[in-house]
Amino acid sequence: MILSSCKREQEEQSVNETFNSMSNVDGRITPTAQACVPVLDRGFLYGDSIYEVFRTYSGVPLFHQQHWERLENSARLIRMHITQRRDEITEQIRRTVQATSAGKLEREVYVRYVITRGEGPVELYPNPDLHSRYIIIVNAVPEWPPEFYRVGMKAAIPAVRRNPTDALDPNIKGGNYLNNVIAITQARELGADESIILNRDG
């Protein structure tokens, strides 16, 4: 009876234990809340960055190769030279995941990795010699509220329209999400959970 009671307490403690999100900025791994990026980083100043997100299933990264290929395509489209090798970034992702409590809690994770063009002077033109910076954020896979599965989500069409494709190529998975930020803000003001953004043709 005592052993059974102890086992239940251990199981409850494991369920209630908080996942510790970790981040990696150029090889320095810290709790996400303590991660820092220099103020002159172009990703911070101009949204001059690209990124990808993947999740794990049974601890295995989903479509990791395809995500990397899309990242490289985004880099080509914005004429960014990624100075880090693919195997280097992959190893840093592995280190960052290991630094979390994912293994202990048996939790699946999502990984967001960002490549910025790096630090430079406060001017729009990016010097071709800039050294890119990588940022890796690892967190537990978020769970949708149960009511979304029971009754669905509320969606709204915001007033803002999608950026035209001749202004910003949608094949670029970039860090400037202001268009989407405005859209979801307007949708929430309308009492919706999500936004459906139309293009200028409706």
Query: Would 57 be classed as within a structural domain?
Result: yes
Query: Would 8 be classed as within a structural domain?
Result: no
Query: Would 70 be classed as within a structural domain?
Result: yes
Residue 158 confidence class, pLDDT cut points 50, 70, 90: very high
Same domain, 73 and 165: no
* Predicted model pTM: 0.87
Number of domains in the chain: 2
Same domain, 36 and 125: yes
Query: Would 199 be classed as within a structural domain?
Result: yes
pLDDT tens, position by position, 160-201: 999 999 999 999 999 999 999 999 999 999 999 999 999 999
Same domain, 120 and 30: yes
Residue 4 has pLDDT above 50, yes or no: no
Q: Provide the pLDDT for residue 105.
A: 86
Q: Provide the pLDDT for residue 104.
A: 87
Q: By C-alpha distance, which of 113, 43, 45, 54 is closest to 80?
A: 43
Reported in sequence order, the residue ranges of 4-132 that DSSP labels E, i.e. its strands, are 22-25, 28-31, 49-57, 60-61, 109-116
Q: Torsions phi, psi of 85, nearest 5?
A: -80, 160
Q: What is the mean pLDDT of the chain?
A: 90
pLDDT tens, position by position, 106-121: 899 999 999 999 999 9
Query: Would 56 be classed as within a structural domain?
Result: yes
Domain ranges, residue 161: 144-202
Same domain, 118 and 25: yes
